[in-house]
A and B are shown apart, each in its own frame.
Chain A
Amino acid sequence: MKISRLMFAGLASLCIAAPALAAETTETAPIPQEGVGTETYPGIPSDTIEKLGGPAGIKIIVDDLFYYILDDNRINQLFISHGKVERQKALNTELVQLVLGGHKQYEGASMSAAHGDLGITLTQFNAVVEDAYLAFEKARVPYSVANQIIAGLAPFERDIVTR
C-alpha cells in the first residue's frame, strides 16, 4: 500500500506544480537561516547532523570531498585557480550544517554571488556531486543519509550552474 500512497503523492505534486510553474525560472535558493535548513520534499530528518557525527563528522566529510575534488582532473583546476581552498572547506562545512538545520553562522557570500561569473557547467557540478558520494563512502556515511545532504544542497544548482 506504500506504493499507492507514494503514487498519490506524485499525483498531488503534479497538481501543485502547475500553478508554481510561472515562478520557476527566476527562483534562487537562499542560504537557509540558522536552525531552519533547506525546505525539501519530504523534509530532512532532524537527526541527520547527529547521524553524520555532528559538526566534527561533517568537517571530516568536507575534508574528504576536497581530497577527491583536488584529485579529480575534470574539475580540480577550477578549484585550484579559485584559490583559498582552506576557506572553501570551512565555508562548505558551515553550509552543510545550515542546510541540514544546524545552528551555524555562514560567513560566505550568497551562492549566486560566489559562483555567478565562474561559468560553471552542469557537467562540472555533477562531477562535484560524484566526488561527494566518494567522500560519503570514505567516511562510511550510509547512502540514505548521504542523500539528505544532497537534498539540502541540490537547490543551489540553480545558482551555481550558469552555463
Chain B
Amino acid sequence: MNRRTKNKRAIGRQLSVLAALFAVSGAASAGIYNDGKVLATGGVSMTDGAGGGGITPWATITGYETRDGINGDIHYTYVHLPSYDLNSGGVAVGLWDRVELSYTNDSLPTGSTYDTVGLATTTVNTALGGLGVSALDTGIEPFNTTVRMNVFGAKVRVFGEAIYDSDNLIPQVAVGAFYKVNSNKALLKTLGADKSKDFEIYASVTKIFFPISTLINLTGRYTSANQTGLVGFGGPDGNHRTFRFEGSIAYLLNKGTAIGAEYAMHKNNLDGALNLKVAGLNLDTTNNPVLAGALSTLTGPTLSQKESDWRDAFIAFFPSKNLSITMAYAMLGNIVLTPHQDGYYISLQASF
C-alpha cells in the first residue's frame, strides 16, 4: 500500500471519529444526551474497543447513558511489554443503554523482536538474490515493523439489570460482535495465520453482587483469533473458530475505585512453524532446517509460536463521570517467538 492511500485511510478514520463525536454533541443539543448512570457503572474500555474490563467485553453498555439517552467515550490504552508495545485508541457510543457501537485502532510496534527476524530474512534474501531466486516476502521490515488492526464492534443488551436486581440471580446479558481487519497480510502469512481479517461473536453476562461489593462478568467468545487478531486468525490447519471462556472479577473499594482480575482463554493455532515462501514453494521451518537454524541462531533457541492465555490484575479510578484511569499488570505470556510478555498497562477513558 502506498503512502497516499495510507494517508487517505488515516484521514477517513479521523473523519469517522469526528462524525461520532458530532453525533454525541448533536445529541446534547437535541436533549437526548444523558449521563445518568451511577459513577463507575459504565465500566472502562477494553483493547478491542468494547465497554467492559481491559481485555474482556462485559454485558454493560459503554458510556454513562441510562435508557433515557445516549452517551459516548474515547479511550487510549498503552501496554508496555518486554518485546512489544500495544497502543489502542478508539471511540464508542452507547445508545439508550441498549446498543453499543465502537471503533478502535490497535497498533503494535514490534521493536527489536522483529528487527532480528527482519535482518535474518533480509540476509537470507540477499543470499537468495545472489542465487537468482526471487526474494522472500515475509512482511517483516528490517526495522520498525508495526502490526496494525482496525476493530469495529457492536453490542446489544438482550435482557437483565446488572445493578439493581439484587434479589435475584438473573444477570445482565448482552451479545456482541467484532469485525477485525489486520493490515499486515504478508507478515501474518509468514507467521502462519490463515486470515488477516475475520469476525468474532460473543455473549457476556454481568452481575453486581452489592452485599459483597463485587462484580462478576463471564464471556464466551466464538473466535479463531491469534493474540486477539494481532497475529491474524486461524493457522496452518485453516480458520476454525471455537468458543473461548473469559472472565472478570472486580471488587469496589469505594464508589470511584475498583480492583480486580481478568482472564481470557487463547488458543494455539500457530504452535508450529513459520511459513517462508520462496519462489512459490512453501518452505516452512519444519522442512527447512537451514532456515530454521538461521532464524533460531538469531532469535534464540526457542522458535515457538505457542500462545498463552491472557491475564491481568487491575485498579481503576473514576475521579468523575468524564474520566477513568485504569492501571494493570498484564500477563500475556508467550507472544510470537518471545516468552514472558508481562508488563504494565495504562488506559485512559474520557466520557462525554
Given contacts A17-B160, A43-B211, 6 further A-B contacts (CB under 8 A): A10-B216, A20-B169, A39-B167, A121-B68, A133-B255, A151-B166
Assess whether A63 is interfacial by the CB under 8 Å rule: no
Residues of B in contact (CB 8 Å), total: 39
Is there contact, CB below 8 Å, between B165 and A155? yes
Verify if B168 is at the interface (C-beta below 8 Å from A).
yes
| Selected interface stretch from B34-42, B45-53, B330-338 | B34-42
Residues in B with CB closer than 8 Å to A151 are: 166, 210-211
Is A148 in the interface zone, CB < 8 Å from B? yes
Q: Are B168 and A41 in contact (CB under 8 A)?
A: yes
Q: Is the CB of A7 within 8 A of B167?
A: no
Q: Which applies to chain B's interface (DSSP): helix, strand, loop or mixed? A: loop
Say yes or no: A155 contacts B164, CB within 8 Å. Answer: yes
A49 to B60, CA, bound (A): 32
Given A11-B218, A16-B169, A122-B68, A154:B163 Cβ within 8 A: yes
User: Mind listing 7 A-B residue pairs with CB under 8 Å?
Assistant: A3-B249, A3-B261, A16-B169, A27-B168, A126-B66, A147-B211, A147-B252
- How far is it, in angstroms, between the C-alpha of A154 and the C-alpha of B166 when the chains are bound? 6
Smallest beta-carbon distance A12→chain B, Å: 8
The 7 A-B residue pairs with the shortest CB-CB distance, nearest first, are A123-B36, A151-B210, A13-B169, A157-B164, A10-B216, A154-B164, A155-B167
- Contact with B161, one of A6, A144, A152, A157 (Cβ below 8 angstroms): A157
Chain A contacts to B: CB under 8 angstroms: 3, 6-7, 9-14, 16-17, 20-21, 24, 27, 29, 38-45, 121-124, 126-127, 129-130, 133, 143-144, 147-148, 150-152, 154-155, 157-158, 163
| Contacts between the two chains (Cβ within 8 Å), count | 118
Give the residue among B69, B169, B205, B217 with the most A Cβ atoms within 10 A. Answer: B169
Interface flag for B134 (CB, 8 Å): no
Contacts of A130 in B (CB 8 A): 38-39
